[in-house]
């Protein structure tokens, strides 16, 4: 951020937000006063969307491109697919983050080559550039730390930097590529940088919902729009908001109900963020995940407890909102959630064959 740019941006941001606050304020009062909408306050807001449809929404469309250095992205992609990043040449980043699918591995909990099950469900690598925190517990503050953590994690890549640098440095292609991009050539920081550059480039723009947000009202069907309104009206959008439809805050899993009623008392609950902060109120608190491409990222929740999106929606409504949704409403919301599937490298991501909503 340059000094010169700061006031301008600050000014413009303040101006635009003041306008938004005004409009939202009026709509809220009108909503509370009339209380006539069957599905909640957001309905009224959507109806007055003619004024400024883009800014009133608690969402924002993904950009079509990123400004990552293409050369670094290309190098990062090579690394991303390279099993030599793991000590025993068994795992690549791609192993768990299948780019042809939802950016994850489709498993509840991934298994390493040595048969070790990872603690939690693998989150998608798509659109990580727009997440405010990473992993289920927010334990890593940045993608760089996440990447290094995975590489050096004894249960995952199980590598050490000297070994890894030596191994990759032996490859003249890598050595030349790094030298071309970085003054100091291949180094841990540069390797991570290249990887993260690639990760940040993994965006899935132009979902139908994004097109809707950009003003293309016909992008969503009537049912999907109804689902969208329900999504907001029930309060899902209180947490799943922002450009990534989630991914920017933490929430306790199970506000109004214990989500683990079926769990035997002997089974230890996953304490979530508490493991990171050691603060009591962070018990069973997890990062609210992004819902972009959610139709492709089953199984769901930190433990991948269900492959059914409907079940996941119902569970969320029950334990987080203290509501019981009718199957119709669940169905409508799921329809809406399918509009969040974007395109990767110009091609729409597809629902895996085994998916059965």
Is there binding between residue 127 and other proteins (CB under 8 A)?
no
**Candidate list 46, 48, 60, 107; residue touching other proteins; CB under 8 A:** 60
Under the binding rule (CB under 8 A), the answer on residue 49 touching other proteins is no
Q: Decide: helix, strand or coil at residue 300.
A: strand
Task: Enumerate residues 6+ apart whose C-beta is below 8 A from 84.
Answer: 167, 168, 171
Binding flag, residue 67, other proteins (CB under 8 A): no
Give me the torsion for CA of 187, 191, 273, 112, rounded to 10°. -110
Answer yes or no whether residue 99 interacts with other proteins by CB under 8 A.
Answer: no
Rounded to a whole number of angstroms, the minimum distance from the CB of residue 234 to other proteins is: 8
Closer of 19 and 117 to other proteins (Cβ): 19
Q: Which of 130, 228, 300, 301 binds other proteins (CB under 8 A)?
A: 130
Asked if 48 is part of the footprint of other proteins (rule: CB under 8 A), the reply reads no
By CB under 8 A, is residue 3 in contact with other proteins? yes
203 binds other proteins (CB under 8 A): no
What is the Cα–Cα distance from 346 to 330, expressed in whole angstroms?
Answer: 30
Nearer to other proteins, 21 or 111 (CB): 21
Residue count (the chain): 357
Binding flag, residue 143, other proteins (CB under 8 A): no
Whose Cβ is closer to other proteins: residue 70's or residue 322's? 322
Q: Which of 12, 15, 47, 55 binds other proteins (CB under 8 A)?
A: 55
Q: Residue with structure tokens 């760089």?
A: 144
DSSP string, 98-165: -TTTTSS-S-SS-B-TTSPBPSSPPPP-TTGGG-SSBTTT--BSSHHHHHHHHHH-TTTT---HHHHH
The partner residues of 59 in beta bridges, in order of sequence, read 242
Helix axes 172-181, 161-169, angle to 10 degrees: 100
CA atoms within 13 A on the CB side of 74: 9
Helix (H) or strand (E) holding 173: helix 172-181
Q: Which stretch binds other proteins (CB under 8 A): 76-84, 169-177, 277-285, 299-307?
A: 277-285
The reply to whether 239 sits near other proteins by the rule CB under 8 A is yes
User: Rg of the chain over CA atoms, in angstroms?
Assistant: 22
Would you count residue 58 as binding other proteins (CB under 8 A)?
A: yes
- Cβ pair 198, 79 in contact under 8 A: yes
Rule CB under 8 A: choose which of 30, 48, 53, 56 binds other proteins: 56
Q: Is 57 in the site for other proteins (CB under 8 A)?
A: yes
- Footprint of other proteins on this chain (CB under 8 A)? 1, 3, 6, 10, 13, 17, 20-21, 24-25, 28, 32, 35, 40-41, 55-60, 130, 132, 138, 141, 235, 238-239, 241-244, 248-252, 255-256, 277, 279, 281, 285, 321-324
């Amino acid at each position: 951020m340059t000094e010169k740019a700061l006031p301008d941006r600050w000014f413009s941001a303040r101006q635009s937000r003041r306008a938004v606050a005004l409009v939202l304020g009026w709509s809220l009062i009108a909503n509370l006063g009339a209380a006539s909408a069957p599905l909640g306050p957001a309905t009224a807001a959507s109806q007055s969307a003619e004024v400024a449809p883009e800014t009133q929404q608690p969402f924002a469309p993904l950009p079509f491109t990123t400004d990552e250095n293409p050369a670094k992205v290309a190098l990062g992609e090579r690394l991303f697919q390279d099993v030599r990043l793991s000590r025993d040449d068994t795992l690549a980043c791609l192993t768990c983050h299948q780019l042809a699918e939802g950016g994850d591995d489709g498993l509840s909990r991934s298994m390493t080559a040595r048969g070790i099950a990872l603690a939690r469900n693998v989150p998608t690598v798509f659109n990580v550039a727009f997440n405010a925190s990473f992993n289920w517990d927010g334990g890593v503050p940045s993608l760089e730390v996440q990447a290094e953590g995975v590489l050096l994690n004894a249960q995952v890549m199980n590598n050490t930097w000297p070994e890894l640098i030596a191994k990759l440095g032996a490859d003249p292609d890598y050595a030349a590529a790094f030298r071309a991009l970085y003054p100091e050539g291949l180094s841990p920081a540069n390797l991570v940088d290249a990887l993260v550059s690639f990760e940040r480039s993994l965006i899935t723009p132009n979902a139908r919902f994004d097109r809707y947000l950009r003003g293309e009202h016909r992008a969503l069907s009537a049912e999907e729009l109804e689902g969208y309104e329900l999504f907001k009206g029930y309060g899902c959008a209180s947490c799943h908001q922002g450009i990534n439809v989630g991914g920017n805050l933490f929430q306790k899993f199970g506000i109004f109900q214990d989500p683990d009623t079926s769990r035997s008392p002997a089974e230890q609950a996953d304490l979530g963020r508490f493991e990171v902060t050691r603060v009591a109120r962070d018990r069973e608190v997890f990062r609210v995940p992004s819902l972009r491409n959610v139709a492709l990222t089953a199984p769901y929740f930190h433990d991948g407890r269900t492959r059914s999106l409907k079940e996941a929606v119902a569970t969320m409504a029950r334990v987080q909102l203290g509501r019981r949704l009718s199957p119709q409403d669940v169905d409508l919301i799921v329809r809406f959630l399918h509009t969040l599937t974007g395109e990767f490298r110009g091609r729409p991501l597809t629902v895996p064959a085994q998916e059965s909503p």
